[in-house]
Structure 1
Amino acid sequence: MIAILLLLVVGLLLSAFYSGSETGFYRATRVRLVLDSRSGDWISRGLLWLTNTPALFVATTLIGNNLANYLTSLGTVLLAQRIEPAGSHFVDLIAPVLFTPIVFVYGELLPKNLFFHAPNRLLRLAGPPFLLCTVAFLPISGLLWVFGRVLQRLLGSTPLRVRLTLARRELRQVIVEGKEAGLLHGVQQRLIENLFETASDPIAPFVVRLENVTHAPLNASRRSVLELAKTNNVDAVCLFDPHSRELVGYVRLADLYLDESPLSDSIQLLPRIAPTEPVIAALIRLETSNADMGQVVDRQGKTMGIVFTRQLTVPLFDGV
């Protein structure tokens, strides 16, 4: 009798564990997991890895829930047989009816409600055993994961866009909560919203063709370059090789005024950027290189034009 009751309790606890963990994964803040994982927390790293492989997480949860339901059902049947050894059909029918509310409340409803209100705290406590179960169920869940990948290949669908959308939505929610808490001002919120809107846009619309860019030959004199910049009202002039007609860099007008060294000593290199590169990625590369402009080249290495750092920042400050 004690073994049967113990089997029921174990099945009920497993059902509560997997049901609550499933809700906790969907409710947990990914930003918190990323921050904790970067600080060296191995539990957060494992949980973050599972969130990035949702198929494996779902497979582990399904296997765990099925195991819990099997143990609970087996315990219910054994308990009914122990109560009525003669095998009364009435006991076989009434036992599941009596245990269903208990399993629903304590194995489903209560743990889901607890994980819903405190996902990060409870998920951290449930993280180590869940990761252990992930490894234990890997021979079976791995097959399900491979099967899902095959279906994904055949159907041509991918959860990547969905995950990116969810991640962006979570970040927006964090920003809204930060403003409500008084941590962010309206200007800061607008700047971050502009960042989200333009983050994935390519730089192609910002590319300026070479014939529309102020440029001079590499062997031009300092005076002629200064006059060219003053005439066109620009603060930088691109330089090209007069023989190959290829861009070699650019010079800043301020450097020419402050430094009397030869023109070649003031040349700044042009970072090479692909036309499909996102605006934010290109802007980060230009700012990291301390460059005022970049050279946009295609896959064949042919120059398509110039993109200016100043132009890439204009959409970020729209309405700020």
Structure 2
Amino acid sequence: MTAFLMWLAGMFLSAFFSGSETGFYRVTRMRLALDALSGNWIARGLLWLTNNPALFVATTLIGNNLANYLTTLAIVLGVQQFFGGPQPTADVLAPIVLSPIVFVYGELLPKNLFYLAPNRLLRWGGPIFLFFTAIFAPVSGLLWVLARILQSMVGESPVLTRLRLARAELQRVLDEGHEIGILQPTQRQVAQAIFDVSAIPALRQGVSATKFSSVLPTSHRSDVLRTARRHRASLLLVVAESGHDVQGYVRVIDLHLRANDWQQCMRPILQLPHSTTVLEALVHMQTNQESLAEIVDKQGRSLSLVTVDRLETLLFEPSVRTRHK
């Protein structure tokens, strides 16, 4: 009876850890994040494990080894109890005969179940996995330290790995949404464009201030409008009398909306660090409702100017985006 109970415990642990491993690779991180924000402590723990994959893998590895040990020991004890003593031949044949049962019910079936319903099953088994994570912490901690050492040797950043996993998962969610009709082709195209431009430096899209049409702050409103029409410009730089220092810019549409005192339409130029990406620049410019931004270096010196129209072109014109990859 003891051997049978030990065998059941080993089978349960094998099924649980094998299925949980598949479930963690299939679970939706966004769903975990939303549940964690709502106050679900199980989701918080699981989300923490997904952000520390080395610890999760170590816990799973220890759990599977423990399950295999219990299963094998239970089979050997059961054979000895059945025959009344050690039987070398039976001790060898029994694990071989029972291995298909262990494989189907301890590996294959739980992996398929967790593959089909990872979110539901992980919510059910989350407390158990977190319990074993705490129990195995002394041993899994050593494996975690070893993994960190290997990461430092190969130069693989856990943050970059986590970002790649998150991007792949979000891409899968978008593909599934497109397949079932939630996302329209245009929406999916914009989402894909965001992925493509997320790492492109905004500095690469910048142009020199000399490429922009400019006016003096003392210019008459009619002269400013004439300059805009002649150059077909939607915005104009406002430069000092010397012609070198840029004091700001003015949007032509604001000139048409304000009949008098066009200098009141002059806007300051938003400054962005040289490390800013296209996506970050778009967010800052849209948030501040600015059409023009200046890319500056660490000393605050101007490197180039970028317009929101030029950055948005990367999102909506695939041919332009392809040339800048």
Question: TM-score scaled to structure 2, two decimals?
Answer: 0.87
Whether the 8 Å contact between 2:203 and 2:304 is mirrored in structure 1 is no
- CA spacing shift, 1:86–1:7, aligned 2, 3 Å: closer
Give the equivalent residue in structure 1 for 2:236: 237
Pair 1:49 & 2:48 matched:
yes
Following superposition of structure 1 onto structure 2, how do residues 149-228 of structure 1 map, counting pairs within 5 Å? 149-158=148-157, 160-218=159-217, 220=219, 222-228=221-227
Whether the 8 Å contact between 1:229 and 1:236 is mirrored in structure 2 is yes
Q: Aligned letter for 1:275?
A: H
CA deviations on 1:240-281 (whole Å, 9 max, x unpaired) are 455895444322223334336655543323222233322111
SS of the residue 1:314 aligns to = helix
- Counterparts of 2:247 and 2:47, CA distance in 1: 44
Q: Aligned letter for 1:298?
A: D
RMSD: 2.6
Deviation at 1:222, TM superposition (A): 4.5
Give the equivalent residue in structure 2 for 1:254: 253
Give the equivalent residue in structure 2 for 1:102: 101
Give the equivalent residue in structure 1 for 2:30: 31
More displaced, 259-268 or 177-186?
259-268
- Counterparts of 2:137 and 2:245, CA distance in 1: 56
Deviation at 1:26, TM superposition (A): 1.2
Deviation at 1:24, TM superposition (A): 0.8
Can you give the 5+ residue segments of structure 2 that lack an aligned partner in the other structure? 320-325
Give the equivalent residue in structure 1 for 2:74: 75
- Counterparts of 1:72 and 1:284, CA distance in 2: 56
Whether the 8 Å contact between 1:33 and 1:44 is mirrored in structure 2 is yes
- CA spacing shift, 1:38–1:221, aligned 2, 3 Å: farther
SS of the residue 1:114 aligns to = helix
Deviation at 1:161, TM superposition (A): 4.4
CA deviations on 1:68-98 (whole Å, 9 max, x unpaired) are 1222222223223322333222332233223
Give the equivalent residue in structure 2 for 1:287: 286
CA deviations on 1:79-122 (whole Å, 9 max, x unpaired) are 23322333222332233223322222221111112112222221
CA deviations on 1:181-210 (whole Å, 9 max, x unpaired) are 222222222222222222222222310101
Whether the 8 Å contact between 1:80 and 1:92 is mirrored in structure 2 is yes
Give the equivalent residue in structure 2 for 1:113: 112
SS of the residue 2:303 aligns to = strand
- CA spacing shift, 1:10–1:246, aligned 2, 3 Å: farther
SS of the residue 2:210 aligns to = helix
Q: Aligned letter for 1:64?
A: G
- Counterparts of 2:311 and 2:253, CA distance in 1: 21
Give the share of equivalent positions with the same residue, in percent: 44
- Counterparts of 2:238 and 2:283, CA distance in 1: 24
- CA spacing shift, 1:245–1:128, aligned 2, 3 Å: farther
Give the equivalent residue in structure 2 for 1:305: 304
More displaced, 197-206 or 248-257?
248-257
- CA spacing shift, 1:272–1:76, aligned 2, 3 Å: same
SS of the residue 2:306 aligns to = strand
Deviation at 1:159, TM superposition (A): 5.0
Whether the 8 Å contact between 1:213 and 1:306 is mirrored in structure 2 is no
Whether the 8 Å contact between 2:291 and 2:309 is mirrored in structure 1 is yes
- Counterparts of 1:254 and 1:271, CA distance in 2: 19
SS of the residue 2:58 aligns to = helix
Q: Aligned letter for 1:130?
A: F
- Counterparts of 2:245 and 2:43, CA distance in 1: 50
Can you give the 5+ residue segments of structure 1 that lack an aligned partner in the other structure? none
Count, aligned residues: 319
- Counterparts of 2:82 and 2:141, CA distance in 1: 41
Deviation at 1:23, TM superposition (A): 0.8
- Counterparts of 1:179 and 1:21, CA distance in 2: 28
More displaced, 170-179 or 207-216?
170-179
Whether the 8 Å contact between 1:179 and 1:189 is mirrored in structure 2 is yes
More displaced, 106-115 or 209-218?
209-218
Deviation at 1:137, TM superposition (A): 1.9
Give the equivalent residue in structure 1 for 2:322: none
